[in-house]
Homo-oligomer: A and B are copies of this chain.
């Protein structure tokens, strides 16, 4: 058995659906020597991290903390804690990640009603209202920013609507958090989960979650034990939010360091500035991609600034281009998932990577690569269009 050599990966610019590059300050924070997970100083860091999360999520929810696993674990945490066998749940399905929520809910014994929409399109609140009226579910699950299609679901009024029908709203904010507006309290979102490796500019490995008062009430009146031990909030909350800080599992100390640093950077920039930056770089990228002849897969007016999903041009091979970008330029973009496999590219401008240099680099590299497989493009047109977009006021 031979021992592999020193870690020495090639340089990458991660412009896929995530992980996005971590901020250098975040990587630096992870070299900090460990603390014990019950050390008084670590408990302070936990409180600071929770407060930073509340500030960044625009919520006062006491039960706000990062789950010790990746974003999908946040989805499972929300569902297993709020749903009991036999409970009715409506899930708005218009992409790969809402499909996953259907699977997760089914494993909890939920009676799932699927409200379907074409991939890339958003849901009409009136249609949702009709479904709530008919089904009368305990919870409705929706993906705020659907990473598989690049569509941003308008949810500002959805919480109020759900509450008219005494229904909880569970929101997948994996790709929206710290990129586009996400106002947990104002929008009356009952349970929200996200990730660390996109808008927050941290490595993957943590899933921030927040639960509002309605969700708390539902959890406290459960009749059955939560089926997952690892994600059982009745126990985890005693570690994160109670005075006695009872041990549940060993918190991933370095990842908490990273998350805290990522959140500090978010709050130093300010949420409004951060959202505006994501939008500005998106508009430049969109101008450039459009000049290259590429079309967005998400509905016009509902396209994610942080995740630009575009159809692959007729006759162009998905992998050929992505391989060129990766090997010749060190740029990673994402391929399609599920129904969109081989049909779309997903170009992320998330967190630390939402910046003009990313925009110009991917446009130039994409232009060169497309030309090399025979696509007819006016030289420099992508970059020129982006430049113009940046100079527009």
Quote the shortest CB–CB distance from A176 to chain B (angstroms). 16
Chain multiplicity (copies): 2
Of listed A48, A227, A229, A260, residue having the most chain B CB within 10 A? A229
Partner of A69, one of B7, B55, B69: B69
Contact (Cβ within 8 A) A12 B31: no
Task: Chain B residues near A29: list those with CB within 8 A.
Answer: 7
Chain A 37-69 per-residue mask, 1 if CB under 8 angstroms from chain B, else 0:
101111001001001100100000000000011
- Output the nearest chain B residue to A323 by Cβ-Cβ distance: B40
Task: Chain B residues near A36: list those with CB within 8 A.
Answer: 12, 14, 16, 19, 332
Quote the shortest CB–CB distance from A178 to chain B (angstroms). 15
Known A-B contacts A76-B228, A104-B229, A205-B254; A19 and B37 likewise in contact (beta carbons under 8 Å): yes
Contact (Cβ within 8 A) B69 A230: yes
Q: Is A3 part of the contact surface with B, judged by Cβ < 8 Å?
A: yes
Contact (Cβ within 8 A) A264 B3: yes
Segment of A20-28, A127-135, A209-217, A365-373 in the binding face: A20-28
Q: Is A204 part of the contact surface with B, judged by Cβ < 8 Å?
A: yes
Q: Is A253 part of the contact surface with B, judged by Cβ < 8 Å?
A: yes
Known A-B contacts A4-B260, A9-B45, A250-B71; A34 and B52 likewise in contact (beta carbons under 8 Å): no
- Output the nearest chain B residue to A264 by Cβ-Cβ distance: B3
Task: Chain B residues near A32: list those with CB within 8 A.
Answer: 7, 9, 27
Quote the shortest CB–CB distance from A205 to chain B (angstroms). 3
Contact (Cβ within 8 A) B12 A35: yes
Q: Is A307 part of the contact surface with B, judged by Cβ < 8 Å?
A: no
A27 to B34, CA, bound (A): 9
Contact (Cβ within 8 A) B252 A70: yes
A42 to B326, CA, bound (A): 13
Q: Is A143 part of the contact surface with B, judged by Cβ < 8 Å?
A: no
A70 to B66, CA, bound (A): 13
Chain A 240-282 per-residue mask, 1 if CB under 8 angstroms from chain B, else 0:
0000000111111111011011001001100000000000000
Q: Which label, helix, strand, loop or mixed, suits the secondary structure of the A interface?
A: loop
Task: Chain B residues near A375: list those with CB within 8 A.
Answer: none
Known A-B contacts A22-B33, A34-B12, A48-B4; A72 and B229 likewise in contact (beta carbons under 8 Å): yes
- Output the nearest chain B residue to A268 by Cβ-Cβ distance: B3
Q: Is A305 part of the contact surface with B, judged by Cβ < 8 Å?
A: no
Known A-B contacts A9-B41, A31-B30; A107 and B228 likewise in contact (beta carbons under 8 Å): yes
Task: Chain B residues near A254: list those with CB within 8 A.
Answer: 22, 27, 30, 203-205, 254-255, 258
Besides A4-B52, A31-B31, 11 other CB < 8 A contacts?
A: A1-B55, A9-B35, A14-B35, A16-B36, A39-B326, A70-B252, A71-B249, A205-B205, A228-B228, A247-B337, A254-B258
**Top 3 closest pairs, chain A to chain B, by CB:** A205-B252, A203-B254, A69-B69
A-B contact pairs, 30 of them (CB 8 A): A1-B267, A3-B52, A3-B264, A4-B51, A9-B32, A12-B35, A14-B36, A16-B36, A19-B34, A27-B30, A27-B33, A34-B197, A36-B332, A39-B332, A40-B326, A68-B70, A68-B73, A68-B205, A69-B73, A71-B250, A72-B229, A72-B249, A107-B228, A203-B253, A204-B254, A205-B205, A205-B252, A227-B228, A254-B254, A254-B255
